[in-house]
Amino acid sequence: MKMFGRLSCALPALMILCAASANADTVSDLAAKAKTDSWGYDFLADLTTDIGPRMAGSKAERDAAEWAADRLKKAGFDEVHIEKVKVPYWARGAEEASVVAPRNQPLAVTALGHSVPTQAGGIDAELVLFKSFQALTEAPEGSLKGKIAFIDQRMVRAQNGEGYGVAVRSRVMGPSEAAKRGALALVIRSVGTDNHRVAHTGLTIYAKDAPKIPAASISNPDADLLERMAAKGPVKLHLKLDNKTTDAETYFVVGELKGREHPEQVVLIGGHLDSWELGTGAVDDGAGVAITAGAGKLIAELPQRPKRTVRVVMFGAEEIGGADDAYEALHKQEAGNIVIAGESDFGAGKIYNAEMPAGALNTPFGKQLTAALLPLGVDMLREGSSHGGADIEGLHEKDGVPFMDFGQDGTHYFDIHHTADDTFDKVDAASLAQNIAVWASFAWLAADSDVDFRAPAATSK
Amino acid sequence: MKMFGRLSCALPALMILCAASANADTVSDLAAKAKTDSWGYDFLADLTTDIGPRMAGSKAERDAAEWAADRLKKAGFDEVHIEKVKVPYWARGAEEASVVAPRNQPLAVTALGHSVPTQAGGIDAELVLFKSFQALTEAPEGSLKGKIAFIDQRMVRAQNGEGYGVAVRSRVMGPSEAAKRGALALVIRSVGTDNHRVAHTGLTIYAKDAPKIPAASISNPDADLLERMAAKGPVKLHLKLDNKTTDAETYFVVGELKGREHPEQVVLIGGHLDSWELGTGAVDDGAGVAITAGAGKLIAELPQRPKRTVRVVMFGAEEIGGADDAYEALHKQEAGNIVIAGESDFGAGKIYNAEMPAGALNTPFGKQLTAALLPLGVDMLREGSSHGGADIEGLHEKDGVPFMDFGQDGTHYFDIHHTADDTFDKVDAASLAQNIAVWASFAWLAADSDVDFRAPAATSK
């Protein structure tokens, strides 16, 4: 592998890869070390074992934050601390759903995040099936009075996960659209690509101009069942949810490697430490935290710090929403010094492409990153349409912080996303190591460069 | 495909395939029809939709029996009836398990069939991990006093499912072995090859010389978690099961196609209609019932009945045990007239081999079946070590009824066996059709032959 970075600079076709051999040596060493260093994988094993589920606002999330801060200190970060902000703590209670007519059949169900509870005895009502979110929005006002609406839209599997954006409308906007039409509750087909009896939870957002109705998802096989039943005649459902929301705090765990020349300039990388509580948050987003903290740990072990500061942030309350704005509000003053930010929040699937800010591809940074990532299997580097991550969107939108993105193989990501199946066994160690190598390469190259990612052309050589 | 049965008898290498061209035409027609006829697949879709879970002894099982008998009547069987026998009805109640120390983590758990309940508040006790059933049996007497034993033995995946026989000892014999050593309860790693958060249930058998202790299985990812936790230090579990057993009836649904020459001679094929109630019993054993009834339905539509009677039996109470003896006891008088019996109870995976009674391979039946199955992808026909099925073992052992076996691809069978994941979507229509073609070919050829499967050599030509 090192051939590309070290030995073949004389070959014309490979000259682009030899832009800066000292940097190339460093990133090559980082990548080699990522392959054999188990710190990130062990972090994830221990996070899911010693802590487990860690819902935003829960005691478990606080325990996780303290546990993770301790890990960062032991890993050699220069400065580690925890920041706190207020969030609602939405606590899942007992949940049950079943078909009660034409025949009793139990359903694998889970409440959507922020859902209000049902009345104590639950709701029993006739189901009205919609093939898609769009179909629900076309139903007349009042047409769902006394009914439970059911959106039966399937998510489409894709390597880049793009089926999610289409399907997730059912979950995020479905409850209020159903409520506006008079529905007592909404049930959706899980926003997921698997066929297991585990329902996918996730955030819903109630509109201000609609009643808040209970909302839940059922597993794909259960949705198949309802589809077959509904094709035969009327179906009646029972749904009982018992959630409650209280005031709480969430936590941002921060570890910094102080820049040797420009400590005030920050390359920010991170994931989110909170998780849905059905699984143990191994893939979403223990993996992203392990990847970015693991990358930081490798940089911490280099003989010298890069010019700029590398900051690893383990965000809180990503799943339940609002964390990006909270982080931005806390850091508005220094946002101009955050030179670039990236978030890993798509599991541990192998990285296959990269997207940097417009103009960055032709800078020394861009050339060195291209050279560094090629031997790691990342051969599509582009620029200009990075879309960041949920936790750093606030910084981007309000303060213009530039984004770095890495595209991961998410073919199977939505099989387990937001389910009880999100457990440690789903993470491939080699793939996690490749992610760590990529993030370490990026963070080190960005932090050791002088590129102004807000205006790369000005710094391009 | 028909080339083998019809056109190429002159080729020396294929002469074995041309033993009896009239029979070959009939089985070729049956196989062709199996590919396009959706009766079996529809049966399974409707069984899982209109009935769903059907635990032995439950009202659902009775409803299923009546429903299935009606289907057989409509499919053209000459004679359809339901036989009843007494069985215990083991009813699953609420069930929960969690790690309570060193940290609370919920576990995906399910009680083993026949398990006694825990005391009302459940059991909280320290866990003692055994890597295998064998390791548990080597623990000294009294060594598990006040503890919950945990057998962490993984089932090995295999095309023919042979890993099951080794792993299932934990489930069947584990509780009494743990009880003999003083354990309060037994928890096992699921006897299954998947890595989903669905626990695999299944029968346990209490020994007469040991206290009956509560017994449950946890999902594979949860077993991984306990393994990681136990490697770090003491682990304390909470287990609460609430099952009860009452007296009930189970049902054998019988459909017959009366033989045109020897109606008293019976070729018996079947599966079992009861299912564990976590899923909808699509694969275990809705598939086997659909396959064998589907085969009978195709024979029913032929221009004439075969010489002997074809009897399709949908057995009851296979999962909870005892049905083979019950069926044998009911049919002891006529068992001598059951010329051969076969059971389909391994899902709908493609058939790849066949095993017939010793001496049958060289009879006209054996030669015709060889020719018939080759175009269906079954190219390994053997004789002499058929092992039958759970529901027909009594007939074999006590009355010497010969067995016919078909080997199916069970590579993924134990991913969903005895779990909530046993749902209709797991069944492949083309593979189910291949099974129906094979069973129809076998049943018709056996029923239209004169072979005495108890002594095939005497009838061989």
pLDDT (tens digit per residue) in B80-120? 999 999 999 999 999 999 999 999 999 999 999 999 999 99
Residue B321 pLDDT level (bands cut at 50, 70, 90): confident
Question: What is A213-234 written as a DSSP string?
Answer: --EEEE-HHHHHHHHHHHTTS-
B320/B177 Cα distance (integer angstroms): 20
Which of A51, A221, A423 has its CB closest to that of B221?
Answer: A423
- Kindly report the average pLDDT of chain B as a whole number: 94
Task: Mark yes or no for CB contact A50/B224 under 8 Å.
Answer: no
Identify the CA nearest to A92 among candidates A60, A136, A63, A138. A60
SS3 state at A176: helix
Does residue B10 have a pLDDT over 60?
no
Encoded amino acid at B443, one letter:
A
Encoded amino acid at A240, one letter:
K
Does residue B4 have a pLDDT over 50?
no
Does residue A2 have a pLDDT over 90?
no
- Site of tokens 């136990």: B230
Q: Which of A416, A421, A422, A428 is the mutation pick for testing B, counting most B CBs within 10 A?
A: A421
Task: Mark yes or no for CB contact A53/B105 under 8 Å.
Answer: yes
Does residue A7 have a pLDDT over 60?
no
Task: Mark yes or no for CB contact A280/B105 under 8 Å.
Answer: yes
A409/A294 Cα distance (integer angstroms): 20
Residue A459 pLDDT level (bands cut at 50, 70, 90): low
Residue B218 pLDDT level (bands cut at 50, 70, 90): very high
A294/A286 Cα distance (integer angstroms): 11
**Chain A positions in Cβ-Cβ contact with residue B220 (cut-off 8 Å):** 425
Tokens for B372, please give them: 């018939």
A266/A257 Cα distance (integer angstroms): 10
**Chain A positions in Cβ-Cβ contact with residue B425 (cut-off 8 Å):** 195, 220-221, 224
A149/A130 Cα distance (integer angstroms): 8
Residue A1 pLDDT level (bands cut at 50, 70, 90): very low
Tokens for B178, please give them: 């743990």
Question: What is B128-176 written as a DSSP string?
Answer: EEESSHHHHHTSPTTTTTT-EEEE-PPPPP-TT-THHHHHHHHHHHHHH
**Chain A positions in Cβ-Cβ contact with residue B94 (cut-off 8 Å):** none
Does residue A4 have a pLDDT over 70?
no
Q: Where are the beta strands (DSSP E) in B282-432?
A: 308-315, 338-343, 351-356, 380-383, 405-408
pLDDT of residue B459: 67
A344/A364 Cα distance (integer angstroms): 24
Burial label for B309, CB within 10 Å (0-12, 13-18, 19+), is: buried
**A96 catalytic per annotation:** no
Does residue A20 have a pLDDT over 60?
no
B237-249 pLDDT, tens digit each? 999 999 999 999 9
Tokens for B409, please give them: 């691809």
Counting every residue written for chain A, the total comes to: 461
Identify the CA nearest to A237 among candidates A130, A105, A143, A132. A105
Whether the bond between A102 and the residue before it is cis, its omega within 30 degrees of 0, is: yes
Q: Which residues contact B192 (CB under 8 A, 6 or more apart)?
A: B155, B200, B220, B414, B415, B416, B417, B418, B419
**Chain B positions in Cβ-Cβ contact with residue A423 (cut-off 8 Å):** 195, 197, 221, 224-225
Element containing residue B420 per DSSP (H, E) = none
For A265, A267, A455, the CA distances from A336, given in Å and listed in that order, are 9, 12, 13
A419-458 pLDDT, tens digit each? 999 999 999 999 999 999 999 999 999 999 999 999 987 7
A217/A155 Cα distance (integer angstroms): 13
Does residue B23 have a pLDDT over 90?
no
Angle of helix B429-447 relative to helix B287-300, nearest 10 degrees, comes to 50
Does residue B214 have a pLDDT over 70?
yes
SS3 state at B81: strand
SS3 state at B262: strand
A253-279 pLDDT, tens digit each? 999 999 999 999 999 999 999 999 999
Burial label for A10, CB within 10 Å (0-12, 13-18, 19+), is: exposed
Tokens for B364, please give them: 């006209």
Identify the CA nearest to B266 among candidates B237, B296, B286. B296
Does residue A65 have a pLDDT over 50?
yes
Tell me the average pLDDT across B424-439: 98
Q: Which residues contact B429 (CB under 8 A, 6 or more apart)?
A: B38, B41
Element containing residue B41 per DSSP (H, E) = helix B39-46
pLDDT of residue B360: 95
B382/B84 Cα distance (integer angstroms): 36
Side by side, which strands form the sheet with B262-272? B79-91, B244-257, B308-315, B262-272, B338-343
For A326, A416, A425, B226, B247, the CA distances from A284, given in Å and listed in that order, are 20, 9, 13, 21, 47
Q: Which residue of B has its CA nearest to A222?
A: B423
Does residue B460 have a pLDDT over 80?
no
pLDDT of residue B41: 98
Side by side, which strands form the sheet with B351-356? B380-383, B351-356, B405-408
- Comparing A3-7, B63-67, B341-345, B443-447, which segment has the lowest mean pLDDT? A3-7
pLDDT of residue A450: 95
Tokens for B66, please give them: 């009546």
pLDDT of residue A21: 64
Chain A: give the shortest CA distance to residue B187, in Å.
19
Task: Mark yes or no for CB contact B224/A52 under 8 Å.
Answer: no
Cα first-last separation, chain A:
27
A46/A90 Cα distance (integer angstroms): 25
Q: What is the 3-state secondary structure (H, E, C) of B172-232?
A: HHHHHHHHHCCCCEEEEECCCCCCCCCCCCCECCCCCCCCCCCEEEECHHHHHHHHHHHHH
Query: Please, are residues A370 and A16 in contact by the beta-carbon 8 Å criterion?
Result: yes
Four-residue CA torsion sign, B62, B68, B69, B71: positive
pLDDT of residue B8: 43
Q: Which of A49, A99, A100, A232 is the mutation pick for testing B, counting most B CBs within 10 A?
A: A49
pLDDT of residue B9: 42
Tell me the average pLDDT across A119-131: 98
ipTM score above 0.90: yes
Identify the CA nearest to B262 among candidates B211, B357, B334, B155. B334
A328-373 pLDDT, tens digit each? 999 999 999 999 999 999 999 999 999 999 999 999 999 999 999 9
A165-211 pLDDT, tens digit each? 999 999 999 999 999 999 999 999 999 999 999 999 999 999 999 99
Residue B7 pLDDT level (bands cut at 50, 70, 90): very low
Backbone angles phi, psi at A296, to 5 degrees: -60, -40
Residues of A with CB under 8 A from a CB of B: 45, 48-53, 102-106, 108, 195-198, 220-221, 224-225, 228-229, 232, 279-280, 419-421, 423-426
Considering the candidates B318, B319, B328, B355, report the single residue annotated as catalytic. B318
